[in-house]
């Protein structure tokens, strides 16, 4: 065991923090410089100091427990989460850098998921843009705001592939597809971290929840995941691998059992794959209380066992559970854990602190924070990115865009005027919702006199969320059935008086996200009943959907002429919806997740393997006897106010050698009357191989803008990266000399086809 050393590090060596905020570092230190500083620090640390760096303390106290101050003074925690106030960041930091023995700055972590002060669409919404620059830009602005306020580290991006819409956290990711998910994951890492870890105005990012959290049994949050290695490697890992390639500085392990070994204490996952295969050199944090939960999960005998096994598996930091803090030093003293193992984890965390420039600039500048948070340009960006996120699901007889000459509009529904529900499911700790609602957006566009509103009956979770306690403000009591009935009648009356009805319906913010799974996917509450009563009035009706997951909208799709998926569109959501409804902006988003017809179809995703009854077989028209088995709206679907024609699909060569790339091109023409965006999508299918391959897999996409009549040739490259897969038969990555189908088009049912042969 290393000898305790009480000397304080020389100031010059540490470039110790000064109370005044110094200039941020403007170029990254070299690996050798980082190592030298980490070595020097490590040499000064007691075992207890080291364990402190592996412990993340909660900045809020649970059940009257004391705050983290005392522990910080002793060097008992290296990181703090769940604080979100500049003054408090600075006060806690002062304890660490001025009162603790080694003066190692704290790393402040927070969930900055789709915005900090300026709120952008929820991640599934941003992924619907099929434009990675949307995610990148939102993350960049969120980073600038959060870093100015004093946050160093965001627990984002959430890159879990989710193929089961019942799972509430589908809202937080990029949907069902590994290829799209990988592009969105890398974009967010670039946006949060910037050109290098420690770049000014950026944050440390965290790819979570490693891995396969989205495959929870039955879509029930936290339930165990049973997943084959094939599916892990081909479907659930790619966005994580992409985040690692993009240089993400940290990973968060998932809570649940992964094939019976909790992800947070799974050495195959955290050591073999993450570090061994992918060469990840950052650190891994548990999910909140996750290390203590290893006992609850009946995996570890007690806290001691949990700490030893989590650390041994490759977990570096214990989020909020105190399990490392309580047990690791004793485990080393007993010889059950080697100090070298602890050193390894401490090094990774200190290296990140050095790279982030925390030793030079531990404090946030309050005046600068106020200025950055008041920057109105960020709101304009929120509006633009929200516009790009919207998906036009249906538009019968061109009901949309609406005419500016409309005499009167009724805006109906429980989500029409709710700021919190417009901002979405991941609200930053302590944030007060300040979104423009759809009602406000429409009133701003048309003038208040023309826009009537009635919310209809309330919708609420039948089982309340434990997160409700964190939402500031009084909680309205449950609506009585009588009041609900009166609200229903009022909504129908309001609709009667208008020329056109805009129904804003879907799910409230607390109906998706963590601990927000559902067993049914219909519109909750009496919304469908109200929609039926409104449609029965015979007026044109537009349904604006807000929420965090694909819904089962069989009736709505058959009976409502126009449907716009707005997701939870963020701070400027109401303006963005109005922009799209009135055609100032032509919607160009596409679905990143399949919409089922009925709840019982879940999990439903386009990239399934085929059966012995081929797709579309007349013998076997549906796998359900009471209805079709296909999607209501397929993956990649999204309409525009214009139309696009695809032609001239060409491969540079019909045959290509293994390991060589081939280029694919297609002409896309705006064949309608207005300018618009199209997401050109390329899918492939390997016709035979050492293992069965999905009927289609996305392997290229590009969002382009075309004027009426304009044609653009769009090219993709299909090389070994796109053509390889992990074969369960070979138990390795393979690229095989086989025949492939290629389709290019507007969604995952694209018909324009070409053949490709890969040969030896
Ligand atoms: C639990 C959630 O699963 C995770 O996504 C989040 O980052 C942590 N809590 C911290 O708030």
156 Cα to the center of ligand 1, angstroms: 9
Question: How far does residue 76's CA lie from ligand 1's centre (Å)?
Answer: 22
In this prediction, residues 633-660 reach a mean pLDDT of: 98
Closest ligand 1 atom, CA of 172?
A: 5
**Mutational test site, ligand 1, from 110, 168, 252, max ligand atoms within 8 Å of CB:** 252
Question: Does 569 have pLDDT greater than 90?
Answer: yes
Name the pLDDT band for 620 (thresholds 50, 70, 90): confident
Instruction: Please give the average per-residue pLDDT across 584-606, as a whole number.
Output: 98
CA dist., res. 686 & res. 701, Å (int): 18
Rounded distance between C-alpha atoms, residue 103 and residue 94, angstroms: 9
Q: In percent, how much of the chain has pLDDT > 90?
A: 90
C-alpha torsion sign, points 375, 379, 385, 389: positive
CB 208 less than 6 A from any atom of ligand 1? yes
Q: Which atom of ligand 1 is nearest to the CA of 320?
A: 10
Per-residue pLDDT band for 743 (boundaries 50, 70, 90) equals very high
> Which residue puts its alpha carbon closest to atom 3 of ligand 1?
287
* CA–centroid distance, residue 288 to ligand 1 (Å): 6
Structure tokens at 457: 């009956």
- For the Cβ of 514 lying below 6 angstroms from any atom of ligand 1, the answer is yes
User: Quick check: CB of 288 below 6 Å from ligand 1?
Assistant: yes
The predicted structure's pLDDT at residue 9: 32
Least confident among 24-38, 173-187, 376-390, 578-592: 24-38
pLDDT over threshold 50, residue 7: no
Cβ neighbourhood burial of 658 (10 Å; 0-12, 13-18, 19+): middle
Q: In which band, very low, low, confident or very high, does the pLDDT at 106 lie, cut at 50, 70 and 90?
A: very high
Contact 181, 153 (CB under 8 A): no
The confidence score (pLDDT) of residue 17 equals 33
- The pLDDT value recorded for residue 472 is 67
Distance (Å, rounded) from C-alpha 652 to C-alpha 477? 65
Which pLDDT band, with edges at 50, 70 and 90, does 591 fall under?
very high
The answer to whether the beta carbons of residues 750 and 758 sit under 8 Å apart is: no
Residue 34 has pLDDT above 60, yes or no: yes
Tens digits of residue pLDDT in 463-520: 998 887 776 677 889 999 999 999 999 999 999 999 999 999 999 999 999 999 999 9
| pLDDT higher than threshold 50 for residue 705 | yes
Above 90 in pLDDT, residue 1? no
Ligand 1 site, residue 287, Cβ cutoff 6 A: yes
In short, whether 419's Cβ falls inside 6 Å of ligand 1 is no
Rounded to the nearest whole angstrom, what is the distance from the C-alpha of residue 286 to the centroid of ligand 1? Answer: 9
Closest C-alpha to ligand 1, atom 7: 155
- Check residue 175 and give left, alpha or beta (phi > 0: left; psi -120 to 50: alpha): left
Q: What pTM value is reported for the model? A: 0.96
CA distance 166 to 601: 11
Give the residue, out of 111, 293, 428, with the most ligand 1 atoms within 8 A of its beta carbon, to mutate for a pocket test.
111
Question: 6-15 — which CB contacts under 8 Å span 24+ positions?
Answer: 6/101, 7/44, 8/44, 8/101, 8/102, 8/103, 9/40, 9/41, 9/44, 9/102, 9/103, 13/37, 13/40, 14/40, 14/41, 14/103, 14/359, 15/359, 15/360
CA distance 558 to 396: 10
Is 287 an annotated catalytic residue?
Answer: yes
Nearest protein CA to atom 9 of ligand 1, as residue:
288
- From the list 452, 387, 451, 453, the residue with the least C-alpha distance to 414 is 453
Task: Give the atom of ligand 1 at the shortest distance from the alpha carbon of 158.
Answer: 5
Ligand 1 touching residue 111 (CB < 6 A) = yes
pLDDT in tens, 128-174: 999 999 999 999 999 999 999 999 999 999 999 999 999 999 999 99
Nearest atom of ligand 1 to the alpha carbon of 209: 5
Flag whether pLDDT at 21 surpasses 90: no
Q: Is the CB of 426 under 6 A from ligand 1?
A: no
Q: What is the pLDDT of residue 16?
A: 36
Q: According to the model, what pLDDT value does residue 428 have?
A: 75
With a 6 A CB cut-off, is 305 part of the ligand 1 pocket? no
In the reported structure, the alpha carbon of residue 488 is separated from the centroid of ligand 1 by a whole-number distance in angstroms of 37
pLDDT band, very low/low/confident/very high, at 66 (cuts 50, 70, 90): confident
Q: Whose CA is nearest to atom 4 of ligand 1?
A: 287
Task: Tell me how far the alpha carbon of residue 287 lies from the centroid of ligand 1, in angstroms.
Answer: 6
| Choice among 49, 177, 287, 421 that is catalytic | 287
With a 6 Å cutoff on the Cβ, whether 556 touches ligand 1 is no
pLDDT surpassing 60 at residue 193: yes
Q: Verify whether ligand 1 is closer than 6 Å to residue 204 (CB atom).
A: no
* Cβ 155 under 6 angstroms from ligand 1: yes
Task: For residue 540, count CB atoms less than 10 angstroms from its CB and return exposed for 0-12, middle for 13-18, buried for 19 or more.
Answer: buried
Q: What is the mean pLDDT of residues 733-747?
A: 98
Give distance in angstroms: CA of 294 to centre of ligand 1. Answer: 16
> Mean pLDDT for the chain?
94
Percent of the chain exceeding pLDDT 70 equals 96
The band of 12, judged by pLDDT with boundaries at 50, 70 and 90, is very low
Please tell me the residue having the least CA distance from ligand 1 atom 8.
288
């Amino acid at each position: 065991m290393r000898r305790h050393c009480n000397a304080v590090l020389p100031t010059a060596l540490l470039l110790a923090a000064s109370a005044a905020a110094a200039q941020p570092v403007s170029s990254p230190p070299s690996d050798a410089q980082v190592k030298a500083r980490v070595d020097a620090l490590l040499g000064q640390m007691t075992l207890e100091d080291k364990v402190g760096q592996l412990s993340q303390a909660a900045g809020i106290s649970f059940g009257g427990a004391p705050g983290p101050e005392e522990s910080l003074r002793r060097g008992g925690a290296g990181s703090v989460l769940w604080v979100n106030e500049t003054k408090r960041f600075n006060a806690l930091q002062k304890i660490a850098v001025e009162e603790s023995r080694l003066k190692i700055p704290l790393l402040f972590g927070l969930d900055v998921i789709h915005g900090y002060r300026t709120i952008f669409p929820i991640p599934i919404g941003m992924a619907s843009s099929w434009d990675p620059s949307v995610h990148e830009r939102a993350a960049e602005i969120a980073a600038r705001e959060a870093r100015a306020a004093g946050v160093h580290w965001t627990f984002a991006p959430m890159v879990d592939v989710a193929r089961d819409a019942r799972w509430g956290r589908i809202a937080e990711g990029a949907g069902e597809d590994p290829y799209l998910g990988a592009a969105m994951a890398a974009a967010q890492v670039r946006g949060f971290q910037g050109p290098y870890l420690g770049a000014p105005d950026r944050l440390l990012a965290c790819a979570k929840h490693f891995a396969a959290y989205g495959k929870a049994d039955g879509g029930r949050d936290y339930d165990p995941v049973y997943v084959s290695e094939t599916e892990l490697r081909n479907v659930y890992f790619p966005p994580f691998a992409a985040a690692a390639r993009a240089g993400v500085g940290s990973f968060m392990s998932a809570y649940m059992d992964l094939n019976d070994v909790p992800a947070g204490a799974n050495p195959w996952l955290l050591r073999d794959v993450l570090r061994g295969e992918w060469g990840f050199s950052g650190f891994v944090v548990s999910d909140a209380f996750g290390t203590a939960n290893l006992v609850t999960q009946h995996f570890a005998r007690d806290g001691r066992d949990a700490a030893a096994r989590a650390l041994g598996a490759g977990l570096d930091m214990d989020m909020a559970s105190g399990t490392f803090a309580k047990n690791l030093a004793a485990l080393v003293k007993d010889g059950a854990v080697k100090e070298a193992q602890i050193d390894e984890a401490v090094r990774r965390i200190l290296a990140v602190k050095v790279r982030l420039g925390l030793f030079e600039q531990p404090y946030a500048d309050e005046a600068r924070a106020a200025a950055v948070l008041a920057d109105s340009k960020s709101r304009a960006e929120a509006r633009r990115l929200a516009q790009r996120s919207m998906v036009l699901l249906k538009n019968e007889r061109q009901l949309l865009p609406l005419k500016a000459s409309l005499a009167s509009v009724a805006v109906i529904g429980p989500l029409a005027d709710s700021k919190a529900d417009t901002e979405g499911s991941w609200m930053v700790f302590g944030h007060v919702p300040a979104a423009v609602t759809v009602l406000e957006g429409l009133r701003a566009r048309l003038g208040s006199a023309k826009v009537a509103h009635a919310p209809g009956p309330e919708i609420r979770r039948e089982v309340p969320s434990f997160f409700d306690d964190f939402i500031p403000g009084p909680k309205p009591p449950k609506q009585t059935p009588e009041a609900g009935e009166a609200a229903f009648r009022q909504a129908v009356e309001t609709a009667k008086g208008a020329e056109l009805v805009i129904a804003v319906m879907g799910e409230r913010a607390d109906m998706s996200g963590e601990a927000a799974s559902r067993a049914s996917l219909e519109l909750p509450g009496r919304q469908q009943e109200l929609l039926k009563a409104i449609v029965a009035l015979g007026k044109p009706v537009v349904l604006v959907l807000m929420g965090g997951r694909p819904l089962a909208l069989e009736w709505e799709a058959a009976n409502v002429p126009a449907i716009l998926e707005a997701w939870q569109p963020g701070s400027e959501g109401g303006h963005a919806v109005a922009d799209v409804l009135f055609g100032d902006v032509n919607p160009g988003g596409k679905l990143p997740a399949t919409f089922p017809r009925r709840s019982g179809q879940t999990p439903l995703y386009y990239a399934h393997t085929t059966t012995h009854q081929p797709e579309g077989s007349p013998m076997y028209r549906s796998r359900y006897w009471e209805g079709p088995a296909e999607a209501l709206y397929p993956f990649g679907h999204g309409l525009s106010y214009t139309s696009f024609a695809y032609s001239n699909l060409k491969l540079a060569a019909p045959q290509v050698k293994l390991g060589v790339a081939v280029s694919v091109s297609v002409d896309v023409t705006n064949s309608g009357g207005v300018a618009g965006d199209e997401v050109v999508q390329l899918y492939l299918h390997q016709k035979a191989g050492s293992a069965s391959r999905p009927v289609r897999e996305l392997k290229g996409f590009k969002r382009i803008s075309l004027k009426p009549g304009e044609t653009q040739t769009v090219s993709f490259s299909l090389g070994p990266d796109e053509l390889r897969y992990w074969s369960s038969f070979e138990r390795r990555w393979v690229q095989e000399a086989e025949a492939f189908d290629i389709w290019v088009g507007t969604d995952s049912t694209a018909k324009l086809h070409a053949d490709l042969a890969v040969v030896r």
